[in-house]
Amino acid sequence: MGEQSVSERVPGRDALRGARRVVVKIGSALLTNDGRGLDEAAIGGWVDQIAVLHRQGIEVVLVSSGAVAAGMVRLGWQVRPSAVHELQAAAAVGQNGLTQCYEHHFARHGLLTAQVLLTHDDLSNRKRYLNARSALRTLVDLRVVPVINENDTVVTDEIRFGDNDTLGALVANLIEAEVLVILTDQEGLFDADPRHDPEARLISEGRADDPALAAMAGGGGALGRGGMVTKVQAARLAARSGAVTAIASGRQPEVLTRLAEGESLGTLLSPEEAPMAARKRWLAGQLQVRGSLTLDAGAVKVLRGSGSSLLAVGVKALTGDFVRGDMVLCVDEQGHRIAKGLVNYGADEARRLLGQPSHQIEAILGYMEAPELIHRDNLVVL
Ligand SMILES: Nc1ncnc2c1ncn2[C@@H]1O[C@H](COP(=O)(O)OP(=O)(O)O)[C@@H](O)[C@H]1O
Ligand SMILES: N[C@@H](CCC(=O)OP(=O)(O)O)C(=O)O
């Protein structure tokens, strides 16, 4: 099978080298050894690679499927049930096995794991979104590896992500990962489904938003859910916050560490825009505004002129009952909209910091979350 590159001028694999935060999604088709229970040896191998990345200082969040498939094996079921309550039951049984397996293997490297089960509601409801975000950020700051799956036991068909590719992309958006790696049972995205077309050729690189790629992607196998369709959609979602997506075979030896070294494996789907521009556009559209900050003329000038972070010293007043991580609007003294951004301090703390230089923050609050009120990466000038 040959290789082709669908579009020119996409960012190269350098995006994978030097990434600080990576979401790795491992699909059912791969985890469950073609339906014969969890493939513990393979899971141990991916964990070993993640531990290597971890030692290099890369933060890894894992999105792992496999609960339903593992539960089916434990329950002795040969055929995936169609009734939602049976799928939920299988997921509940299988999730235990998944958690034990990851915990055991990460413990060999002295690493802690945390089970995080999410539903669509958790990511669309604003308060829960912020909770999920701060919990995941805290876990990665603590050097714990979160192992995420959909909370299959409480979701019904209408609201479930169904496939974990979408969940992986939303998690990449949530934690602002630079890279989403989707490990599956094929080498990557082919120009036709290789199960049906032996002549199918691997796409090595492309743009996440290229409609030609979506047309090449087909559905999933007996164990997986979404097939390549949802992987290409996931790449497009991940691109909204500037993440590149790599789709690769989990059976390639050392696939994760080789990808992180920039090796040309699988399919790389890149965002249209540079990560920071994409991220800012995503920020601008993403969150409801919870309050406002009134900036003095000096702060307006530096925000507009040099793209600096917003410091408390340049803020004269505030309104709203926002908490850390909320989106706030920045206005000038005449009330004109200047910028929007995610604030590092809640309204009560921020009020005490108004007009104060950053070196005073610790003395005023007794701690310092960050030296700036809004970091420039989290700020969009309007
Ligand atoms: N264009 C394509 N290129 C590669 N694989 C494809 C393509 N179209 C459909 N597929 C199918 O997608 C499957 C992987 O998706 P899926 O079964 O959902 O696995 P996972 O559990 O890893 O998400 C592959 O086994 C393959 O047969
Ligand atoms: N939450 C489900 C995962 C659904 C699923 O199989 O997704 P995928 O691996 O993306 O095809 C489970 O753990 O069984």
Q: Which atom of ligand 2 is least distant from the CA of 165?
A: 10
pLDDT tens track for 149-192: 999 888 776 556 668 999 999 999 888 899 999 999 999 999 99
Residues 239, 338, single domain; the answer is no
Last residue within a domain, chosen from 280, 303, 327: 280
The pLDDT of 95-107, averaged and rounded, is 96
Q: Which of 160, 225, 231, 247 to mutate to test the pocket of ligand 2 (most atoms within 8 A of CB)?
A: 225
Which residue's alpha carbon is nearest to atom 23 within ligand 1? 27
Residues 229, 297, single domain; the answer is no
Residues 274, 296, single domain; the answer is no
Number of folded domains in the chain?
Answer: 2
Indicate if the pLDDT at residue 313 is higher than 90: yes
Pairing of strands 59-64, 327-331: unpaired
65 annotated ligand-binding residue: yes
- 24: tokens are 């790795």
N-terminal to C-terminal alpha carbon distance within the chain: 48
Which residue's alpha carbon is nearest to atom 2 within ligand 1? 193
Q: Which atom of ligand 1 is least distant from the CA of 190?
A: 3
Name residues contacting ligand 2 (CB within 6 A): 27-28, 65-69, 91, 149-150, 152, 163-165, 220, 224-226
pLDDT for residue 127:
58
Q: Establish whether this prediction's ipTM goes over 0.95.
A: yes
Residues 311, 187, single domain; the answer is no
25 annotated ligand-binding residue: yes
pLDDT tens track for 201-214: 999 999 999 999 88
Q: Can you list the pairs that 227-230 forms with residues at least 24 positions away whose Cβ atoms lie under 8 Å?
A: 227/193, 228/186, 228/189, 228/190, 228/193, 230/163, 230/165, 230/166
Indicate if the pLDDT at residue 4 is higher than 50: no
CATH number of the structural domain spanning residue 362: 2.30.130.10
Residue, of 370 and 100, whose pLDDT is higher: 100
Instruction: Please list, residue by residue across 101-135, b when 16 or more beta carbons sit within 10 angstroms of its beta carbon and e when fewer do.
Output: bbbebbeeeebebbebbbbbebbeeeeebbebbee
Q: Would you call 253 exposed, middle or buried from its count of C-beta atoms within 10 A (0-12, 13-18, 19+)?
A: exposed
pLDDT for residue 52:
96
pLDDT tens track for 248-257: 999 999 999 9
| CA 22 to centroid of ligand 1, rounded, Å | 22
The residue among 239, 250, 269 whose CA lies nearest residue 184 is 250
Cβ(189)–Cβ(229) under 8 Å?
A: no
Which residue's alpha carbon is nearest to atom 8 within ligand 1? 218
pLDDT for residue 10:
41
Confidence class of residue 311 from pLDDT cuts 50, 70 and 90?
Answer: very high
The pLDDT of 340-359, averaged and rounded, is 94
Residues 338, 241, single domain; the answer is no
Ligand 1 close to Cβ of residue 226 (< 6 A)? yes
Indicate if the pLDDT at residue 81 is higher than 60: yes
CA 272 from centroid of its chain's CA atoms: 18
Percentage of residues in the chain with pLDDT exceeding 90?
A: 57
pLDDT tens track for 31-69: 887 667 899 999 999 999 999 999 999 999 999 999 988
CATH number of the structural domain spanning residue 252: 3.40.1160.10
Ligand 1 close to Cβ of residue 32 (< 6 A)? no
The pLDDT of 92-111, averaged and rounded, is 96
- 185: tokens are 């049972």
- 29: tokens are 């088709």
Residues 53, 185, single domain; the answer is yes
The count of other CB atoms within 10 Å of the CB of residue 48 is: 16
Amino acid present at 81 = P
pLDDT for residue 158:
59
| CA 35 to centroid of ligand 1, rounded, Å | 15
Whole-model pTM: value is: 0.80
Residues 177, 292, single domain; the answer is no
Residues of the domain holding 134 = 3-280
pLDDT for residue 13:
73
Ligand 1 close to Cβ of residue 282 (< 6 A)? no
Confidence class of residue 12 from pLDDT cuts 50, 70 and 90?
Answer: low
